[in-house]
Chain A
Amino acid sequence: MSYILIIGAKSDIAKAIAREYANHGYDLYLAARNVAELKDFASDLRIRTGKKVKTLDLDILDFESHRIFYENLEEKPGGVVSAVGYLGDQEKAQSDFQETKLIIETNYTGVASIFNIIANDYEQRKSGFMVGISSVAGDRGRKSNYLYGSAKAALTAYLSGLRNRLHNANVHVMTVKPGFVRTKMTAGMNLPARLTAEPEEVARDVFRAQQKRKNVLYTKWIWKWIMLVIRMIPEWQFKKMSI
């Protein structure tokens, strides 16, 4: 079956998604920075699933390199999933613009850059799917992580526009908004168990929703309703809150 390109493949969510697609018979391109670190993971996937798994170096912040990266793929992927994400340090970023820039460019600019290239190709081919992992943090800015949240909000808007543009080309675009997920990124945080998903759960949701061509996926599903409530809180009230 066709290749799926997974960008930001070192994250726990990306790995779980890779497993999910390989288990369903897809071959994989795993792209990440210092991709050599994925060697063992790739061997494991090959042995477990018998699928082709190729690892590719990709620096999401090296925008100039993205076109060549994609052109060099001999067989173009039938779909792409971006699991790129950088939570960053909100407090540090407030006084250190380098950190702010890193958060914005990783979560938004970099993904927009590579997705632009792939979208153009898919639009011409009139096939393919694109999945972007955004975040519930992008649904409303909060003082504890609004730099990360604003970058994800930009990504959410980007994906929505892209979906609109590619609809007529039969290219499906899905926005994924995970709530809390137990990963390296959230290690050490005290997360409420009932609202927290395992990466495998997110991966199952993503695969199923993508196959059904869903537009926006909240995972766990309850986050859809939580965020609905949070978005409805009037701003005069919200600005006084600590959530």
Chain B
Amino acid sequence: MIISGWGMYPKIESTVLRFETEQALANLIGEYYGLVPRGNGRSYGDSALSPVTVDVKPKNYFLSFDESSGLLHVQAGALLSDILEIFVPKGWFLKITPGTKLITVGGAIASDVHGKNHHIEGCFSESVKEFRIVTANGTIINCNRESTPDLWKATCGGMGLTGVILDAKIYLKKIKSQYINQVTIKTKNLKETFDAFEEFKDKPYSVAWIDCLAKGNAMGKSLLMVGDFSGEGGLGYQLKPQKTIPFNFPSFTLNKLSVKAFNELYYGKVRKKVTKQQVDIDAFFYPLDAIGHWNRIYGKNGFTQYQFILPKVHSYDGLKEILATIADSGKGSFLAVLKLYGKANQNWLSFPLEGYSLALDFKIEKGIFQLLDMLDRIVLKYGGRIYLTKDVRVSRKTFEKGYPQIDTFRQFRKEHGMDKKFQSLQSKRVGI
């Protein structure tokens, strides 16, 4: 069948393998080469694209839950939204969640995803106690930090290139309410934005929405949203009916003018310098999940998200240069998200490091890849790196400069016969 990532680019023909039992999966892995596990298909680019893919999503059972420790044993295909639906009403929440709940647990480990609390809690793998994985020779390994440290460091953030995760034990955290006390800080430029991040860095959750088209003195003007769980309001969480984008918008919809208008409306709506409100989990963590198929607004040619991170010492200069380049190009980004991260973990390919990350969407159009190549050069100049989960086009050279442990990862894959068994279009492109 034809599959694609969330960016709808590229679209490729793939044989999608399904399995009933663990033995059947081991047999498939024995039989095929060049396969990649696939969850809900929410990575943006070609991370989960290959001529042969293993569909893990149907494996979505909850296996056990320990009320005293909050440890949930769950199969890899379960969506984070499934977990929320069952456990928020019981007073539990994910310790780490990205900006969409529509990803699988297996995918969350493979991308070692992070969220608005990275500066305090780290990546998704920090909430994982252990997981079971079927590796290249078909054996099932119970992987944890102590007994199989290398496999752990390769798999968390390893983009599915070490095997197929079957199930995982993850810790949930206790909450008293499904509401978040949110403070929104309106800043006038990049300097103010950085200062605001520092001022509020003790808040558990923080993220800024940045206007990428603002130039000159206004460059870097943002809305910083910080928050923490409230003690009140109750746990009455239930799935809301989704609005959906029913078809691909014509690709001229998102021209420079409409993006600019959107930016001004969004920013202008917040009148005061500091605003306080109480919002629910979905509004705070997953605003875009409320609109089904929002990827269609970029038209049928699809889009990509460019997400990079710069070490803290270079973040200000680097971001200024990048924002100026984007503003000059006039290629608008509907969403630009800026965030301050905490320390990097030990995993070989995990994206986060201590510094600032910016994520921008670009629709696929003429000239876009040249612009992104230009941005790559600035990212490298300031010692930054690119997030594979969003990527569809980064060159091998650019990619490997950002990840100092890349050769350890490559070597590990080779030693364990994973390099031929597990491949994606992305792994072939960046040579991992």
Contact = CB atoms under 8 A, between A and B. Distances in A.
Nearest to A47: B62
Contacts of A184: 20
Interface stretch (A38-46, A141-149, A233-241): A38-46
9 tightest A-B CB contacts, nearest first: A44-B61, A47-B62, A40-B61, A44-B62, A43-B63, A47-B65, A48-B86, A40-B63, A43-B64
Interface in B55-71: 60-65
B125 interface: no
B177 interface: no
A48 to B, nearest CB: 6
B151 to A, nearest CB: 24
A13 to B, nearest CB: 15
A44 B61 CA distance: 5
A41 B62 CA distance: 8
Given A47-B86, A48-B86, A41 B61 contact: yes
B117 interface: no
B64 A47 contact: yes
Interface string B6-26: 000000000000001000000
Interface in B30-79: 60-65, 75
B86 A40 contact: no
B131 to A, nearest CB: 16
Interface in A9-56: 40-41, 43-44, 47-48
Contacts of A41: 61
Interface of B: 20, 60-65, 75, 86
B24 to A, nearest CB: 12
9 contacts: A40-B61, A40-B75, A44-B60, A44-B61, A44-B63, A47-B64, A47-B86, A48-B62, A184-B20
A47 B92 CA distance: 13
A41 B61 CA distance: 6
Contacts of A40: 61, 63, 75
A47 B60 CA distance: 12
A160 B62 CA distance: 39
Contacts of B20: 184
Nearest to A40: B61
Interface residues of A, number: 7
A13 B86 CA distance: 23
Contacts of B86: 47-48
Contacts of A48: 62, 86
Contacts of B63: 40, 43-44
Interface in A39-97: 40-41, 43-44, 47-48
Nearest to B59: A40
B274 to A, nearest CB: 41
A47 B172 CA distance: 15
B104 to A, nearest CB: 15
Nearest to B90: A50
Nearest to A184: B20
A41 B86 CA distance: 16
B16 to A, nearest CB: 12
A236 to B, nearest CB: 42
Nearest to A46: B62
A44 B20 CA distance: 16
Contacts of B60: 44
A43 B65 CA distance: 10
Contacts of B61: 40-41, 43-44
B21 to A, nearest CB: 8
Contacts of B64: 43, 47
A41 B63 CA distance: 8
Most buried by A among B61, B63, B65, B75: B61
Given A40-B75, A43-B61, 7 more contacts: A40-B61, A40-B63, A41-B61, A43-B62, A44-B61, A47-B65, A48-B86
B221 to A, nearest CB: 45
A173 B395 CA distance: 65
B85 to A, nearest CB: 9
Contacts of A43: 61-64
A122 to B, nearest CB: 32
Nearest to B60: A44
Nearest to B82: A48
Nearest to B167: A40
Nearest to B86: A48
Contacts of A47: 62, 64-65, 86
Nearest to A187: B18
B211 to A, nearest CB: 43
A184 B21 CA distance: 13
Nearest to A48: B86
A186 to B, nearest CB: 13
Contacts of A44: 60-63
Nearest to B61: A44
A214 to B, nearest CB: 28
A164 B237 CA distance: 46
A40 B59 CA distance: 10
B140 to A, nearest CB: 15
A48 B65 CA distance: 11
